[in-house]
Amino acid sequence: MMRLLSLVLLCCGATLFAATPTEKAFPFPYTQEELPNGLRLVTIPTGFPNIVALYIVVQTGSRNEVEEGKSGYAHLFEHLMFRGTPRFPAEKYQALVKTAGGDQNAYTSADITVYHITFSKEDLDTMLMLEADRFQNLKYSPEIFKTETLAVLGEYNKNVADPNQKLFETLAETAFARHPYKHTTMGFLKDIQAMPEQYEYGIEFFNRYYKPEYTTIIVAGDINKAAVKTAVGRYWGKWQRGKYRPDIPAEPPQEKPATAQIAWPTATLPQLAVAFKAPAYSDRDPDWAALNLISYLGFAENSDLYQKLVVQEQKVDSLGGFLSPSPDPYLFTILARIKKPTDIRYVQDQTLATLQKFSDVLVERKQLDTVKEHLRYGYSLSLDNTQAVAAAAARALRGQRDLDTVDRLYALYAKITPEDVQKAAKKYLVDKNRTIVTLTGGK
């Protein structure tokens, strides 16, 4: 199971924020500015020649789908945004991207939707113009809307044929009672089935969130900051700020452990998810950072449990922990794929015992320092090309709209003590915060 360390980024300000000089975890110089309309701009000269990566982050994901019966719309617009405008219909838009040699895609998470394209530096002005047009002038017919909603339904059906997706879907629905994190980015099936008749609501959703105050433009690569700012002002500066603010329901405290079992209809390896309610992302409060360190200390490849279950006993073929940097309290999760159904309870018990140890015994300072160094080194090593730099910046926006958060977070990691780790474990890794989901296959 792939481990994603999502960390940082932001943009903006009619005011300019300067990155602090020394010991920066994010090693590239950058500028963050905010236009008068609320649009944020991050420029990152990377030193890599000829290539530019343009990432546009909309602060909208399944978290923003607050109305009953209206889940899945952030993901739907990831599709609809490629349907064109009166000036640049889809075919013309794609032809211009192809001419520029653009490598283009998009993704939706619980908290953000990201559109990205990488191209030659000569085409930056054209790409900024094209993206500004579709963000401000998207237009599609009721027929196209219906077609895309049916495509989303097809994608949902394909996803739920994957036991991993079913595990995540069930975990979210079991762990959360009120918060929109209760559904995945795909949304609830009944809501997706109802989408084709929700053309008017689709327009309303777009008009709520595709506004400058929810949007950050990241331009990284072989760039001139002043020229980028001028072009963004020219194409995006007249975009009108919106007024909508979602009322996102707070999740009530969990009062007791929750469980769910999934009987998969065909043969598949058993899976186990052990999750605990966790705090919202913070680069100042040590709890989030301490829990993220626990996910590595307890479950990374060099951890005692991984070596025991995967390498020595060979009862598990995949094991890992993760903590999403989300703006609202989310989940600290351990995932394991097990070779035999008879070992599920054993693996579960070993996982819980490992977590309990963080509450009972102080982690060795040397071990903690080694993990901190590994995290920082791994993060720096990943920033080896322009697209990777822009992508890391975009992921960072998930928890806080400020690229400075990367350096603040790594500075916080450096201060985390064994006592901080124990305190976070005792506070969050407790029975009443826990949700366990198991999946077993048929014959």
* 172 and 181 Cβ atoms separated by less than 8 Å: yes
> Domains in the chain and their CATH numbers?
16-236 (3.30.830.10), 258-441 (3.30.830.10)
Q: Is the dihedral of CA 57, 62, 65, 70 positive or negative?
A: positive
**Residue among 360, 432, 442 at smallest CA distance from 175:** 432
Distance CA 316, CA 308 (A): 9
Report how far apart the first and last C-alpha atoms of the chain are (Å, whole number): 24
Q: Count of alpha carbons within 13 Å of 430, Cβ hemisphere only?
A: 11
Residue 443: per-residue pLDDT:
66
How does pLDDT run across 386-440, given as a tens digit for each residue?
999 999 999 999 998 999 999 999 999 999 999 999 999 999 999 999 999 999 9
pLDDT higher than threshold 80 for residue 39: yes
User: How far, in Å, CA of 296 to CA of 302, rounded?
Assistant: 9
Q: How does pLDDT run across 137-171, given as a tens digit for each residue?
A: 999 999 999 999 999 999 999 988 999 999 999 99
Distances (CA, A) of 187 to 71, 157, 183, 275: 5, 12, 6, 20
pLDDT at 429: 98
Three-state DSSP class for 215? strand
pLDDT band at 442 (very low <50, low <70, confident <90, very high): confident
